[in-house]
Amino acid sequence: MVVGDFPIETDTIVIGAGPGGYVAAIRAAQLGQKVTIVEKGNLGGVCLNVGCIPSKALISASHRYDEAKNSSDIGINAENVTLDFSKVQEWKSGVVNKLTGGVEGLLKGNKVDIVQGEAYFVDENSVRVMDDNSAQTYTFKNAIIATGSRPVEIPGFTYSKRVIDSTGALNLDELPKKLVVVGGGYIGVELGTAYANFGTEVTIIEGMKEILGGFEKQMTALVKRNLKKKNVSVVTNASAKGVEETDDGVKVTYEAKGEEHTIEADYVLVTVGRKPNTDELGLEQVGIKVNDQGLIEVDKQLRTNIPNIFAIGDIVDGPKLAHKASYEGKIAAEVISGHSSEIDYLGIPAVVFSEPELASVGYTEKQAKEEGIDIAVGRFPFAANGRALALNATDGFVKLITRKEDGLVIGGQVAGASASDMIAEIGLAIEAGMTAEDIAMTIHAHPTLGEITMEAAEVALGTPIHIVK
């Protein structure tokens, strides 16, 4: 029995309104559910507020500034190019506000009840939602947990004014003269590149042998070369030991090749991973299984060990990607509504907004060979494409992985301008069971970067037109 209030009933309650949660809520409502969504922060979650969107806005602004200063090779010379960093931040915030406001409109338009507060499980069919002033119990038939993740804090690097995470890096009031980035994954490389474009002296410290370890070496080599052009120092096989804060900056100590080094900077940005937000939900009250990393265990329909409670996004196994969370949100909502949907991650792309951009979907060449699949590989360079030449963006290639026996497209990688957009065609080909011939026979507009994918398909078929086999 609830003391002090009367429980509010709903069919489905979604905890967390990030790209997984709000998408799940909308899809469940579209499928006839009465839906309540609970969010303790801003609608849109990390992605829209302090992640994907503001970082891409900052990256876009940095490209504009860099191009304005460095386009003499195509005959454009701009004098006295200046940067108003506070204006950049103001514009970036405007982009975020437009999108978060749009999420609220979409939820309300689909008749989803929005509740502000923190949710805590009471039992398998009820949660307590609390804010600073009140508490309310909600009973539900089904629940979807979509609480996302937060940056990992490493020993010796307690977050502060000068020791910042990705959120802090996106909201600096001043442009740093020097920045140390601990972690050469996609967040570290993206933000490090953006600040380098603005003129910051950047050093990236990475513990592994290579930066962007999830991508093929032939792809990351292009990024490393461009970082070098921007005077970004990349130190690999290095271990960050600690930081000393001064009145106006930091001194970062790291070890590389058995020697200890110290580097001074205005800030140190720590981007070494993210931790699932599962520790303050009362999961133990319900008996929901969580592994040693704090990830909730789910089946192929995103169902936890409690049949009516589902989990999606960064709090379940797999890459921490906004589009993965959105995809899972749709699957969970469909399962709750009686559909037989289940997850299939082969068609989920991974993208880094580096220079050049990197994108991969499905099998890599190495993965396919390790699984014993007999493959035909089609690779075509940006440098042989008219549109890439006209854009002065000739770094990169498209690689298509096909099954040799029937030409089925099972994977693809794009390194180059607009890779983040181009990867969708390959993802569609995988999802739809298309072959290299299907792509090669699809008429691509000329001149476009999309033609590179068509050309790569022709290479896989052994009939290239614009390069000699």
Q: What are the catalytic residues?
A: 446
How many whole angstroms from its chain centre is CA 128? Answer: 31
Contacts of 80 (CB under 8 A, 6+ apart): none
DSSP 8-state symbol, 300: T
Distance from the first to the final alpha carbon of the chain? 75
User: Tokens in use for 376?
Assistant: 């035909």
User: Tokens in use for 168?
Assistant: 């802090």
Give kind and range of the element (H or E) at residue 85: helix 85-109
Q: What gap in Å lies between CA 204 and CA 225, rounded to an integer?
A: 14
Give kind and range of the element (H or E) at residue 25: helix 21-30
Q: What gap in Å lies between CA 403 and CA 398, rounded to an integer?
A: 17
Taking phi over 0 as left and psi of -120 to 50 as alpha, with beta for the rest, 314 belongs to alpha
115, 138, 279 from 36: Cα distances, Å: 7, 9, 22
48, 52, 184, 304, 432 from 55: Cα distances, Å: 9, 5, 16, 32, 32
User: Tokens in use for 411?
Assistant: 């994977």
Determine phi and psi for 291, rounding to 5 degrees.
Answer: -85, -175
Q: What is the DSSP string of 338-379?
A: T------GGG--EEE-SSS-EEEEE--HHHHHHTT--EEEEE
195 and 176 in contact (C-beta within 8 Å)? yes
Contacts of 203 (CB under 8 A, 6+ apart): 178, 179, 180, 181, 232, 233, 234, 235, 263, 265
Put the strands of the sheet holding 250-256 in their side by side order.
238-245, 250-256, 259-265
Count of other CB atoms within 10 angstroms of residue 54: 23
